[in-house]
Amino acid sequence: MKDAVTAIIKKYGNDKSQLVSILQDIQSEYNYLPRTALDKVSKKMGIPQSQVFALATFFRAFSLKERGKHIVNVCLGTACHVRGGELILDSLQRQLGVNPGGTTADHNFTLESVNCMGCCATGPVVKIGDEYFGHMTNDKVEPMLNKYR
């Protein structure tokens, strides 16, 4: 972890105005923001820990909890909700054995719900990583997950 965080900070020239970008890169590296990485950022950049943690907790896109290799986002916005988004979420919970916010024991999946993905015409929608799955049905959940197992 030490070398990756140091390299990320160095990439931005230790520029304090790039703190969000630094945290984004750290999260891309580890899939969450480890406490030790945030402590290292604070120390190396001379930024108070409280400021680093305030930024890390302000943006919902950042996670301080270890997450799985694949983030499964289920849209529960109005269009997806009325088309069965909650049923898809229930199906995913059963298949993965975790509630929203939870990570599977093998650390392969983290299940999250989101308010809107901007894909209203194709709802209900599930996103795994950068791949979107529209017009989801319960029958499509297991084959979708199998692509990432």
CA distance 127 to 107: 17
Same domain, 141 and 75: yes
* Structural domain span for residue 27: 2-58
Same domain, 80 and 139: yes
Q: Is residue 43 part of a domain?
A: yes
> Residue 34: which of 11, 4, 10, 7 has the closest Cα?
4
Residues 43 and 82 both lie in one domain:
no
User: Encoding tokens for residue 11?
Assistant: 């990439």
Which pLDDT value is given to residue 120?
Answer: 92
Q: Is residue 65 part of a domain?
A: no
Output 80-86 pairs: Cβ under 8 A, ≥24 positions apart: 80/116, 80/117, 80/120, 80/123, 80/124, 80/125, 81/124, 83/123, 83/124, 84/124, 84/136, 84/137, 85/123, 85/124, 85/125
| 91, 139: one domain | yes
Number of domains in the chain: 2
90 shares its domain with 22: no
Same domain, yes or no: 83 and 141: yes
Question: Based on the domain organization, do 126 and 86 belong to the same domain?
Answer: yes
Model confidence pLDDT, tens digit, residues 93-108: 999 999 999 999 999 9
Q: State the pLDDT confidence band at 61, using cuts at 50, 70 and 90.
A: confident
When pLDDT is averaged across residues 108-122 and rounded to a whole number, the result is: 94
Domain boundary residue, one of 13, 35, 58: 58
CA–chain centroid gap for 40, Å, is 22
Q: Check pLDDT > 80 for residue 1.
A: no
Q: Is the dihedral of CA 53, 58, 61, 64 positive or negative?
A: positive
- Where residue 20 falls among pLDDT bands split at 50, 70, 90? very high
Q: What is the mean pLDDT of residues 29-34?
A: 92
Q: What is the pLDDT of residue 59?
A: 86
2 close to 40: Cβ distance less than 8 angstroms = yes
Which pair of tokens denotes residue 125? 């929608």
Query: Mean pLDDT score of the chain, rounded to an integer?
Result: 94
Q: Confirm whether 63 is domain-assigned.
A: no
pTM over 0.95: no
Over range 76-83, report the average pLDDT: 95
What is the reported pLDDT for 40? 95
Q: For residue 94, tell me if it sits in a domain.
A: yes
Banded pLDDT at 2 (limits 50, 70, 90): low
Do 85 and 42 share a structural domain?
no
Same domain? 49 vs 86: no
